[in-house]
Amino acid sequence: MQNRAQTSKRNIQYDNVYKSDNLLWAAKQSSAVACIASCADHIDCRSVAFNGNDRRCQAFNKDFTNQLVTGISESGWSHYEVYPGNICKTGIIDTTARDCSEVQSQGHNCSGVYTIFPSNDIKKDVWCDLYTQGGRWTVLQQRRNGFVDFDRVWSHYENGFSDPNTEYWIGNTRKTGIIATTARDCSDVQSQGHICSGVYTISPSYDIKKDVWCDLYTQGGRWTVFQQRRDGSVDFDRSWSHYENGFGDPNTEYWIGNEALYHLTFSGGNELLILMQTWDGVWKYAHYTDFYIGHKNDNYTLHLSEYSGTAGDSLLISGQAGQQFSTKDVDNDGWPLSCNPYFHKGGFWFKGCCSADLNGFYYSSGVDVVDSCHWNSFTGTRESLKTIFMMTR
């Protein structure tokens, strides 16, 4: 802080004057030096006012000589012009760093925009905060002036948008291609230092390799996505062998395979998270504890407990938890006529004609049809869903 204090100059012209124009923020600070330091690392901040009586700190986007309003008399205020100090010069600083922690380790000591490489195939310009609480922060979101529209579609948030000098979102995913790892699951992927969601190669067992989507963002990340519905591009009305071995593309729509899912979950203690979106844009989720599926000799029976979430429970209350897996050519649903293929589509843990079928037929609208991909407790009907992610950690 002492170095930053040296980048400021006392402006006694406005002492004991309260000013409210050109205000960026106001907060309590322990001292004038701390107030100055809170400004010095922000690109828009040009001056501060500190009240020694009650420790109020104000930050302004103009120096005092360029502010129009003179203010009103109030004791205790001291005013300082704050120069860029520890903010880097305008422009992008190229590095070989993976994140802003490595940027600082490479000797950089001023906040600003740096090029980083979160993985071998990703190059990203980000704002690095190298001051707050010791620095090393990679800024993934920034709001400064409202000039950037944040009311955007999924793909914009997935890929990132705007300018790290002003307002931006880094992007939920910045991957092209498949990242090979030695990880068993996506929790291991994240533990190995990867920070971006995307497709990774994992090995649930010594003889199984799978390309899967890893969600390294939602609720702290570490999620192995084992089912994904996005656009209806993949047929989910398939045979037992297809569901056992897996099918589809983890970049769009896929099922990881029951054998791989067994090896990922058989030890127990896993979470199951299901994210769902309706065609009118409403997102909800269902979360379960103690998730695992049984061995193939047990027909991959579904085990889980303790629901929480916003979508409602459609697995425990319906009795589908505890059911064996069924497909159109292998009937384990416990109903004489077999719900698949007569009513439902796709392989799932059916119990009779049930409340949830997330592998059902993908319709291009939210129609209420029995064979759709649906979650009854979400909408109260079998309304076809637009987007589904099933994931575990």
Tell me the mean pLDDT in the region 114-130: 80
Least confident range of 108-112, 166-170, 179-183, 361-365 = 108-112
336, pLDDT greater than 70: no
- Indicate left, alpha or beta for 35 from its phi (over 0: left) and psi (-120 to 50: alpha): alpha
Tell me the mean pLDDT in the region 331-352: 75
367, pLDDT greater than 90: yes
What is the DSSP track for 290-331?
Answer: EEEE--GGGT--EEEEEEEESS--SSTTTT-TTPPPBBTTB-
d(C-alpha 302, C-alpha 312), whole Å: 18
Tell me the mean pLDDT in the region 242-249: 97
**Which has more confidence, 139 or 223?**
223
pLDDT of residue 307: 98
390, pLDDT greater than 80: yes
138, pLDDT greater than 60: yes
Q: Architecture of 180-392 per CATH?
A: Alpha-Beta Complex (3.90)
90, pLDDT greater than 90: no
Indicate if 93-169 has the same CATH topology as 23-81: no
Q: What is the CATH T-level fold of the domain 93-169, as seen in this structure?
A: Gamma Fibrinogen; Chain A, domain 1 (3.90.215)
d(C-alpha 172, C-alpha 311), whole Å: 23
d(C-alpha 182, C-alpha 201), whole Å: 8
256, pLDDT greater than 80: yes
Map out the domains of the chain as residue ranges: 23-81, 93-169, 180-392
Nearest to 96 by CA among 88, 80, 108: 108
Q: What tokens appear for 111 in the block?
A: 């906040």
Instruction: Read off the amino acid at residue 76.
Output: G
d(C-alpha 293, C-alpha 303), whole Å: 6
CATH number 3.50.4.10 is the correct assignment for the domain at 23-81: yes
Terminal CA-CA length for the chain = 42
SS3 129: strand
Tell me the mean pLDDT in the region 251-275: 97
State the DSSP H helix or E strand holding residue 137, giving kind and residue range, or none if neither.
strand 137-139
What is the DSSP track for 212-271?
Answer: EEEE-SGGGS-EEEEEEESSS-S-----HHHHHH-EE-TTSSEE--HHHHHHHHTT--EE
| Segment 206-216, tens digit of pLDDT | 999 999 999 99
d(C-alpha 213, C-alpha 200), whole Å: 6
Confidence of residue 223 (pLDDT cuts 50, 70, 90): very high
Pairing of strands 198-205, 179-180: parallel
SS3 204: strand
pLDDT of residue 234: 96
pLDDT of residue 23: 82
Instruction: Read off the amino acid at residue 223.
Output: W
Tell me the mean pLDDT in the region 82-96: 62
Nearest to 1 by CA among 33, 28, 31: 33
**Which has more confidence, 355 or 361?**
361
Confidence of residue 4 (pLDDT cuts 50, 70, 90): very low
